[in-house]
Amino acid sequence: MDKLLFGDNQFFGVNHMSEEKARVQAMRFQNIEAVIDTLGNAYDAGVRTFMCTTHDRIGLVCDHIRKQPDRYKDFIFFPGMPYAHKYANAVTEEGLLGSLKKFLPDEGLMNAMFRGATSFARKDIEGVITLLVDAEMKMFQGLKTPVIFLQNVVVDFVMGLGAVESFKIFADHVKKRYNAEPGFITMNTPRLLDVLEKLGVENPIICSNINKIGFRMCGGIDAYIDVMKSRKFRPIAMSVFASGALDPEEAIRWVCELPNLHSIVFGASSAGNIRRTADLVEKYWPKVPA
């Protein structure tokens, strides 16, 4: 994984500190060209990996990248799934059959529907999970997706229910079908790490909030630092700026000093802020001996 990953929260009006900032960003990025221009700015600043949801509009970004293979030859997607609102909206707008046709993989509509129907009939959770993953991955066909994430809205809900075997099913399917590594986004890294180790998911990729003031870090800063020092996994830090509560240089310097940090994911709207973040990470990331 690259040191720095570009996220997509700003494109969909997500800001955990300010509803007004979220509204302004949502208005600005209503036009897909604004999204593509910002991704181009990130790419030109040396940020090659786009960690994104499977929102419908990301499909337009995928189409754009496919049409310009020379311009974006090193561009990488880290899809995060599922995007639940997408399914609800599709059923409302296109009906059940239209939604099935839209989302099911291109291996044959009847085959995919049969997989889904028999899985539900037998209460086969493995069949349901793999079908949903394949449906979400349809938009990324032909693109580089070396890591595929399960979103925290599912990860933390499933942990709460205790149905954690689904994590192993997800991990195995991602590896086998897409030759990719499974990633997990969570609000509670220490607890998730315990679960994944018991399931036999080795050296997992876990993305969670990691910042100097403990913003949205369930379990507290000390627990996160402890597992980063003592446990084998690949942590990705998100919300390093605590949604704007921290000075950027202070935030980057602190997170880059943490042990075993693998990547930082951030979102930004302007070319200047993207470049500044990239420069700060380059400045404070610990140098690896040759």
Per-residue model confidence as pLDDT tens for the chain (290 residues): 999 999 998 898 665 565 666 666 667 788 899 999 999 999 999 999 999 999 889 999 999 999 999 999 999 999 999 876 565 555 456 664 565 555 555 555 545 555 555 554 455 667 778 888 998 999 999 999 999 999 998 999 999 989 899 999 999 999 999 999 999 999 999 999 999 999 999 999 999 999 999 999 998 999 999 999 999 999 999 999 998 899 999 999 999 999 999 999 999 989 999 999 999 999 999 765 43
Question: Which helix (H) or strand (E) segment is 263 a member of?
Answer: strand 263-266
User: Could you tell me how far CA 73 lies from the centroid of its own chain?
Assistant: 21
Distances (CA, A) of 105 to 100, 171, 231: 9, 19, 37
Residue 282's pLDDT is what? 94
Distance, CA of 12 to CA of 53 (rounded, Å): 10
Question: What are the two backbone dihedrals, phi and then psi, of residue 18, each rounded to the nearest 5 degrees?
Answer: -135, 115
Q: Which long-range contacts (CB under 8 A, 24 or more apart) does 109-112 make?
A: none
CB-based burial of residue 96 (10 Å sphere; 0-12 exposed, 13-18 middle, 19+ buried)? exposed
Residue 261, both tokens = 């940090």
CA angle 107/52/200 to nearest 5° reads 75
Given phi > 0 = left and psi -120 to 50 = alpha, else beta, which region is 149? beta
Distance, CA of 6 to CA of 49 (rounded, Å): 6
Superfamily of domain 4-284: NADP-dependent oxidoreductase domain (3.20.20.100)
Q: Strand locations in 115-253, DSSP E?
A: 147-150, 181-185, 205-209, 234-238
Residue 14's pLDDT is what? 61
Residue 177, both tokens = 């079908």
Residue 222, both tokens = 């000390």
- Cis status of the peptide bond prior to 105, with omega within 30 of 0: no
CB-based burial of residue 237 (10 Å sphere; 0-12 exposed, 13-18 middle, 19+ buried)? buried
Give 181's contacts (C-beta < 8 A, 6+ positions apart): 146, 147, 148, 174, 175, 205
Question: Would you say 189 and 211 are in contact if contact means Cβ atoms under 8 Å apart?
Answer: no
32-44 and 271-284 are packed helices; what angle lies between their axes, rounded to 10 degrees? 30
Question: What are the two backbone dihedrals, phi and then psi, of residue 37, each rounded to the nearest 5 degrees?
Answer: -60, -40
Delimit the domains of the chain by residue range.
Answer: 4-284
